[in-house]
Structure 1
């Protein structure tokens, strides 16, 4: 601190240091900056309110009710043909079919020709296409394939536009959002975006990336369900009035089947809503302009540096500038769609507020010199109370018929000591741990008999080629068991491939596992090796097998029986020598009974069943697993006895995966406070069941025992290890403020809480103290004669000086309440 006092202008120095920190955060901590930008834009949207969409846009939504009434999904394509025919009769200007019509569906083939004919007759229909593997790197697009809808494949006349979009900070010179490539060139084929193809802009296009401006609520669009539209179509006049010269988009709004986004105005907006918003942006030229984002970063940081010099002595000037920035940024964003890097201004402003930082540094110094740590006080209190207990227990032994009062005092003292020992355990490292009992079996850490028995089954069954089904809850380590099976088998030198069946869609799963041949579908320009082929002579682990459909289960059954399979698009039979290990967290036997899983496949998979018990059934493994994670995260960290006991008591519904997350969190919290031991306070609050004894509780309990007498402060200080009288009195002042605030500034209620007694004498003493504290505050407020809280707080430095930091909030609120009166 002496170093700072030598600096002539400490305010300027602190502001410069804060500015350097702000520059670092803005330029290198992009996730934080992006979060501020996203929050600011949401704030602007909320203030401005939703805009009104162009009246020419009408949406026909396929709702959950439509699907239920018209049949299973996907709907018969004859319904789309009927809708297009009706819109043609209504003289709709444009029709956009946002639903991707895939080829190869036998069920739909009889209607494809009808739909294609209606599209050709209408002449104004735009279909949705898909781009596979779309990426934006180094300001260039790349993609694996362009997949056309079946009507386009049948007729080149059909017009298409891709439905793809990119999310997050793409390109780097912008904040997070939804971006749509206006035009893509894939294998010499040009494909416009869906909204651009509908808008039919005749000017020369380029590979521009536009950012969607979600200034419209999904509920603001003119929408009809598919069934409502068919009813309207029965009245030709009404049909003409509602749809003539309109741009009509047809898409799915059922959340179970549509891609879902969240915007400032809508918790749920389907894909058709996204493309309708993009079309509205196109019509009204309202796409977000992000080209000034990087320039604004430089200008705002430069402006922040200027603030240090011009407003070093004028805090109100800083607030005025912040308000002006808010107004200008709001105007540019709402009226001109101009996006700036708001974080480059907001972060420096927040970090260079000087007075609070200076006060904090000096207050911290005073607190360190006038007080000792709460931990030291609690340790001293434990030592004192243990000495008193020893004396009382000797007295009990000497007396033949000890009075009940003495027995009760001993019992109460034992409870207090137990609570204080909990604090001591939270400081002490957990060392009751014998590493020789712990086994590490291919990443599975254990010492329990139940896991030992499971490992024994693995060792017995791994060397042969039998199919294995691993059952157990999510997060219990099923993939580790599968890997152990592979490592102990003769296949160990070949590939072990893990596949999460639930993570892949039905269409992708078959292609990923079995592969496909060139020409299997549109733009399949090369043969693709499947995972079964890649795992030949090795092991494949199929996790979440209960999530697969019947068609896939049938193909899997074939490969288990004979090793034979067919690649997608090929009539040739391929063969793979692969061992299958499957896993599930579901009850497959029940699924078989409910006809949700093939019975024959279940018996093929369940040749050997390995059950992996949840963590709550093997609590003796928690301690070694925690220590394993600790060593991996930070070798210098240990864990307290109290924290370890709490981890062992927890139920762990998320099993080892949840435990790993909790340990990681605790390591971060402990490291942030430069501690080498994890304490109870580092664990999630919902896990900490027992309330620790603390200094506030000890002081209040001691003062109550002494009935708040004139000597109670001195006696309490002596009991707690001869600590400073100031520590006790200032903590009590804070306790009074806290209870007064918690009682909604009602004196009688606060007195009852603090005294915890009905004795008039005790209550009178507490009330007298409370009134004295309040009168002192009121007296100083009258002297200052101001209603500006910040000005008052600066003048009240002496009242905050020795008051523990945790009680400052309550003093703030009491002052504000008095100002209101």
Structure 2
């Protein structure tokens, strides 16, 4: 991947900054999106049961009805505590606020207080009714016994009035914990008050239940450490002093038991066990006691349950600590930094020229982000906010796409304007040239030659016209079309060819011989694709599932080649530290391709002949005769028969290899394949670019001494230069220098051909003589250029036959004009052969594409314009 240009990087940074500012002011929106995503993560993860040591005893609607409703007599609570103490519960906690005495039954308050004190492991609940600082100034000597002394720089919230149990009850409790919930996800671990920091209810329940002393609890900057039975329990809290709840599940995940059911079962246990014999199921359990009844207790919404009793939050927090999976939520700054990183990644990816690859990579990044986020949540209980990053990814991608589309459109408009300007100047020059030629014909006496000044001016205009024609064609993108999609283009085992090219016959022959095991000798110039053909033969053969091994015989010395092909034993020569299998062994039951076979020595050819005849060989330095069942394909770019006659290649080996011969045509004989090959190379490079008509014209006129390999190199060269300038059109300047000079010559061809035909008065032999006169052109090329010029002239003369004939003839001689008229009518009649006015224009043009097979690319638009004008009734053939 190339580094993005500075401008591209600056645009990316700008978008990142703008989106970051927007996300900062829309933080609540992103927080809401992250919460919604977290709910989906919970659903995907599924419910989990609470730790078995945590039990909830609740008074439900039926219990309350049976016990006389609310407020309940406190002797019932005393009865439950007494039973739990006898059952061996390690801690008992009330998620109830006993803030006032029971004035109707003060004796029950006394009983309840006595039982709580006797139990010694009861944690009571309280709550802060306000978070405004209390105006009453109380000295630190009045610090509550249940409160903690914390450093003032700890990030815990400041509370106001603490609503706590009545004094006699509180005095006998093991501790007190505040039950405030900041929201559905978070609980303040401590709340500061004038009398010290009041711990969370779940925290004190754990401490008492696990028998940890208050003095042993250690507070650090972002966590609390509680030593329990030789190990440390860690409780992390955020920058506001809150602990996030990692929901285990809905109400079904709680181990909740009705209080009356517990008392009945306890009585049964006690009577069956006799004097406390046997262990009760509540032994060593942490038991939370509360009311779970509609309208009489608080419920919260969770990802698993629309109404979870608040007592369940305390149970889940204890479960989180015991299992070490307390939820940790990354701060907003982390999400913001991650979003910036994602934006930079998008900026880098959007520098890739292939948009499908870019979009696929960005989609992969989004998917990876979600997978990592969910993985961190499910395995490490860490919530990584990704909504901001996803928004950054989407918005940056859209921004870059819009930018690129706008830039491309702007460049396209610029190219179109440049092309129209060149076309306008070209039209003006051509009109002026026609006027000068008429002036020369009409004003000069027959016996008097034109003036030098007039001839020089005509020459100047012709040169200017050639330059402008080159500019127009270099700005006009061409689509590599298929005249007959089902027939004209084909591909066989990676070989691209046109059914009318010489390569089609090669492919047909390959299909015939592939199924055999006979040797094949592939002949052809360097770069014609001999190895590609060898691979095609192998893939189409019965050995296609076995190895294909290629060896370049011309790249190795005789000793190394022998070792490479036949292998060697350990110590066979200096450096042979271990035995090595040769290529023939590796190709067993498959195919071996010997490229540049004519470069081998006679001594080596003898050894090669043996394996071809008998299928046996010995490794270098070995005596064991080995067998190899391989099909041999060989290739050379030399005249092999000449090498045989010159005694440089063994005749017997030649006949062994030459069971079948394939002669590959050079690229200059495969002109019909060149557009298809260009298209293939563009797709192979994943380049979203087009090729100008001038480039196609130049490429088609090149000699291609390096054949297909040279063409591929030229296309890669052009793609790199075009993309470096962020263009989607390959132009002449993107090709190597020799193509530029070659193109200038090709743009002179039209004028040279026309002048030569005029000088020969369009005689029958004029085309053949012109081809011989210009050199390097065949008769067909001259005829097609003339046909194309006739189409072009007919369009420029607005489909006027008389004006077109006059323009082409360039003379007033009636005999010459008749010859031109005959040719023009022949060409036009052939062009509209399929122009059935009952069919659509698109169908007619598609069917007529076969008639442009050899027509130079520059005239294709004129050919289509003529058909369209005919269908629209703008002209008709003369009667």
After TM superposition, the score normalised by the length of structure 2 is: 0.37
TM-score of the superposition, structure 1-length normalised? 0.40
